[in-house]
């Protein structure tokens, strides 16, 4: 006896052949006979995971995108369509969640979306959508009143909302304040579709132990589908993959992790949606930083006859909320959709793509059309200019060289060369006459004289911005922001800081990667080599270089990474091999610069602890360790 596959993957055929023992008719010799038996089919399901970008508060625009991507999914023959966490409202909604009018509008938009999907012919196609809801009953153990907001998702079918649920685990770390806004869900939602039980989860439900993952196993689910809006962080793709593998094994079923892409304020979402089988093997993986519809055919176990009934309580006190749409499996069909298996980006390309995505989203979603950059000829402004050209197109990037009497010839030449290589719009506005007028009136010297030059450049950029409508990009990097090596109302002016969360050593590495990438594609490298190789300098006094005031950047960044990103104290850092006096000086600079950082514009977050929501320290503090 042997088992082979039929042409339809969901059918197993058993072939039997053997010698017949009773005498054959008509005195013929014994002969072999064959028998083929078709066993019960394994249920099939074509899943469409729509990795899309949403804009916070744009209910109409987001709904339109959901309809458009649902139409595309239906054209691919999908049986279940899914969208990311809070796709209808955008994420994070922050204090909009506390506005009852916005919650009501979200709920109304969900009902309208369900009706529209049915009107457009998709009523028999279940669609999972994340949105903002409110609780129906009080939650006394969390001290929340009835009607408190909920981070929720719903299955739309037949023009109605047939299954709704709220996020069970609420994150309260880093950029997340979900305990501030939401109350948790207390159910395990299960949808029976074409003979398969599908359990649902929302983002943190996978990132934390317990809850819906073990509950999915107890419910005998054949598929666990989690919708997410998990912000990008450097190296998170590796962590995410291992997490999904682990949770699939814990849940005992195929697990799909659908993620958002795009950008919102200082957050970037990289997509990278993943599907793994119950053993943790990757079935499909979407590309990063792009909208994508991943369509794949899955063979899943049939719903168990002894699965817990609706209303039963399983792991973590979760009550099963089961909705049955169809008990019978689909007729067997050829499994043609295998999904994509995108190759992950290398580390530098991934970070650079995040910076481009963040800037593009901030400019586009806020209705701006062009950006303005002060070009010094240095590495920071050069990298920002390259990112801007990749994000919005060189024709929408305006660069201004603002030389003073201390500006070197090579810096002016490097700024002009950058403009030539990239094709951005370029002009020169000398600040010498303005500087002389201020000096004649105020008689400044020393640091005040140096900072005046930076502030004149900031004023010039803001004046051009005001006149022509470009938004100004601040070129400061994380190393400078950390130690306060910037001038308030000078080089820190702007609407957005693209490299705000990038240490100086990474600035050099990203610039080199961008040039290398251009060469590999046969293009002109955008950043002049001299901008990369020359010693960094603010050029505010004769012969000035950054190391006059700061340690070498590799040493400085290593100390900052421990203090800022990992919250290590002075003693721990010194124990790591750093000079005690240097550590003390560096930490003192960081602590004293908090007031400057509070006034710096938002910028793309790429690290686990960026300046802003991640790292919230008092401006006034007597603690110096």
Tell me which residue has tokens 């609780």.
Answer: 135
Q: Is 30 helix (H, G, I), strand (E, B) or coil?
A: coil
Q: What burial letters (b/e) apply to 355-387, b meaning 16+ CB within 10 Å?
A: bbbbbbbbbbbeebebbbbbbbbbbbbbbbbbb
Instruction: Return phi, psi of residue 546, to 5°.
Output: -60, -35
- C-alpha torsion sign, points 82, 85, 86, 91: negative
d(CA 406, CA 377) in angstroms, rounded, equals: 13
Active-site residue, 242 included: no
Q: Are 379 and 503 in contact (CB under 8 A)?
A: no
Q: Which H/E stretch holds residue 202?
A: strand 196-202
d(CA 328, CA 331) in angstroms, rounded, equals: 9
d(CA 81, CA 58) in angstroms, rounded, equals: 21
Q: How many residues does the chain have?
A: 625
Which regions of 80-179 does DSSP assign to beta strands (E)? 80-82, 127-134, 149-157, 160-166
Active-site residue, 167 included: yes
d(CA 571, CA 70) in angstroms, rounded, equals: 56
d(CA 304, CA 222) in angstroms, rounded, equals: 9
Q: Is 33 helix (H, G, I), strand (E, B) or coil?
A: strand
Q: Which H/E stretch holds residue 548?
A: none
Token pair of 230, please? 């998990």
Q: Which H/E stretch holds residue 2?
A: strand 2-5
* Angle (nearest 5°) at CA 394 between 390 and 398: 120
Q: Are 222 and 198 in contact (CB under 8 A)?
A: yes
Token pair of 268, please? 């970037």
d(CA 22, CA 19) in angstroms, rounded, equals: 9
d(CA 222, CA 196) in angstroms, rounded, equals: 6
d(CA 418, CA 529) in angstroms, rounded, equals: 10
Q: How far is CA 12 from the centre of its chain?
A: 41
Task: Catalytic residue, from 85, 204, 450, 539: name it.
Answer: 85
SS (H, E, C) 196-259: EEEEEEECHHHHCCCCHHHHHHHCCCCEEEEEECCCCCCCHHHHHHHHHHHHHHHHCCEEEEEE
Alpha helices by DSSP H, listed for 59-211, are: 59-75, 100-117, 178-181, 204-207
Q: Which H/E stretch holds residue 270?
A: strand 267-270
User: How is residue 561 annotated by DSSP?
Assistant: I
Q: Are 328 and 77 in contact (CB under 8 A)?
A: no
Count of CA atoms in the C-beta half-sphere (13 A) of 99: 9
Task: Catalytic residue, from 178, 203, 233, 292: name it.
Answer: 203
Q: CA Rg, the chain, in Å? A: 30
Active site residues: 85, 167, 203
């Amino acid at each position: 006896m042997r088992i082979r596959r039929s042409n339809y993957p969901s059918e197993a055929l058993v072939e039997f052949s053997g010698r017949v023992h009773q005498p054959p008719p008509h005195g013929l010799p014994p002969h072999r006979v064959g028998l083929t038996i078709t066993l019960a089919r394994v249920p099939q399901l074509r899943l469409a995971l729509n990795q899309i970008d949403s804009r916070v508060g744009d209910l109409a625009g987001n709904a339109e995108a959901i309809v458009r991507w649902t139409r595309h999914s239906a054209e691919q023959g999908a049986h279940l369509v899914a969208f990311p966490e809070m796709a209808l409202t955008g994420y994070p909604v922050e204090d909009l969640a506390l506005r009852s009018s916005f919650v009501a509008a979200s709920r109304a938009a969900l009902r309208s979306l369900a009706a529209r999907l049915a009107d457009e012919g998709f009523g028999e196609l279940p669609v999972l959508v994340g949105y903002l809801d409110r609780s129906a009953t009080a939650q006394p153990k969390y001290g929340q009143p009835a009607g408190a907001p909920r981070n929720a998702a719903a299955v739309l079918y037949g023009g109605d909302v047939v299954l709704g649920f709220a996020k069970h685990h609420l994150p309260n770390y880093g950029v997340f304040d979900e305990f501030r806004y939401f109350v948790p869900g207390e159910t395990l939602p299960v949808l029976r579709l074409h003979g398969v039980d599908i359990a649902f989860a929302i983002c943190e439900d996978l990132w934390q132990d317990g809850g819906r993952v073990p509950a999915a196993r107890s419910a005998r689910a054949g598929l666990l589908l989690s919708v997410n809006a998990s912000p990008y962080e450097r190296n998170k793709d590796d962590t995410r993959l291992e997490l999904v593998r682990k949770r699939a094994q814990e849940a005992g079923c195929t697990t799909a992790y659908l993620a958002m892409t795009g950008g919102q304020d200082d957050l970037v979402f990289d997509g990278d949606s993943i599907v793994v089988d119950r053993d943790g093997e990757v079935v499909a993986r979407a590309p990063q930083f792009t909208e994508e519809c991943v369509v794949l055919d899955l063979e899943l176990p049939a719903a168990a006859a002894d699965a817990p009934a609706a209303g039963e309580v399983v792991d973590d006190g979760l009550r099963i909320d089961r909705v049955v749409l169809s008990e019978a499996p689909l007729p067997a069909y050829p499994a043609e959709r295998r999904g994509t298996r995108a190759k992950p980006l290398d580390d530098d390309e991934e970070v650079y793509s995040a910076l481009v995505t963040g800037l593009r989203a901030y400019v586009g979603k806020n209705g701006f059309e062009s950006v303005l950059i002060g070009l010094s000829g240095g590495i920071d402004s050069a990298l920002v200019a390259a990112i801007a050209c990749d994000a919005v197109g060189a024709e929408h990037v305006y660069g201004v060289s603002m030389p003073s009497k201390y500006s070197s010839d090579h810096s002016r030449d490097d700024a002009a060369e950058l403009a030539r290589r990239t094709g951005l719009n370029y002009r020169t506005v000398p600040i010498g006459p303005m500087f002389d007028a201020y000096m004649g009136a105020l008689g400044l010297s020393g640091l005040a004289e140096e900072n005046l030059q930076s502030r004149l450049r900031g004023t010039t950029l803001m004046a051009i911005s005001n006149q022509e409508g470009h938004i100004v990009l601040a070129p400061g990097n994380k190393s400078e922001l950390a130690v306060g090596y910037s001038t308030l109302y000078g080089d820190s002016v702007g609407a957005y800081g693209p490299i705000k969360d990038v240490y100086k050593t990474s600035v050099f590495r990203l610039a080199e990667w961008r040039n290398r990438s251009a060469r590999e594609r046969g293009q002109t490298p955008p950043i002049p080599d001299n901008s990369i190789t020359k010693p960094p300098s603010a050029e505010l006094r004769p012969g000035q270089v950054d190391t006059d005031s700061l340690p070498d950047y590799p040493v400085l960044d290593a100390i900052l990474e421990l203090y800022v990103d990992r919250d290590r104290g002075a003693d721990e850092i010194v124990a790591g091999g750093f000079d005690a006096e240097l550590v003390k000086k560096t930490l003192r600079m960081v602590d004293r610069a908090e007031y400057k950082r509070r006034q710096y514009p938002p910028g793309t977050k790429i690290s686990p602890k960026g300046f802003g929501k991640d790292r919230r320290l008092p401006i006034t503090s007597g603690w110096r360790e």
